[in-house]
Amino acid sequence: MIDIEATGGKKKLREEVEDATFFFLKKLLPRIKNIEINIILKRGLKEKEGLYGDCIWEDTNHRPRVFTIRMDSAVEHDLIMDTLAHEMVHVKPVSYTHLTLPTSDLV
C-alpha cells in the first residue's frame, strides 16, 4: 500500500505536494508497492535550521519503507517542488538498499 500524507502548510499546498510525491514515487520507484511517506511542511525551517528540507527513514535499516520528509513551506512554490524532488531522490537508494545505512548503535 502506498501511503502519502502531508501535514502543515495550506490545504492546496498539501494536496499539490502529495500529488507530486506520488508522481516522483512512480518515476523513481516504480516497483515499490508498500511505502509510507510523511511530509511535514514547516514554516521557517530555512531560518531556524539552515535547510530547505531533509529526509529520514523511520523503520528498519534493511529496506526501509517508512520515511519522513520535512520541508520549509515559507519558500517559493517552485523551490518547494525542487526540494521535494531532491528528497525523493534520497528515498530511492535507501528503499532499494543501494545505500548501506549505519545501524542504530553506531549513530
DSSP 44-78: THHHHHS-SEEEEE-S-SSS--EEEEEEETTS-HH
- Quick check: 107 pLDDT over 70? no
The enclosing H or E element of 36 equals strand 35-42
Q: Which amino acid is at 18?
A: E
**How buried is 40 (Cβ within 10 angstroms: 0-12 exposed, 13-18 middle, 19+ buried)?**
middle
Write down the pLDDT at residue 3. 96
Cell triple for residue 13? 499546498
- Quick check: 105 pLDDT over 90? no
Q: How far apart are the C-alpha atoms of 13 and 31, rounded to whole Å?
A: 27
Torsion angle defined by CA atoms of residues 3, 26, 84 and 57, in that order, rounded to the nearest 10 degrees: 50
Q: Using one digit for the tens of pLDDT, what is the confidence trace for 61-99?
A: 677 889 999 999 999 999 999 999 999 998 887 776 655
Orientation angle between helical segments 11-28 and 77-95, nearest 10 degrees: 40
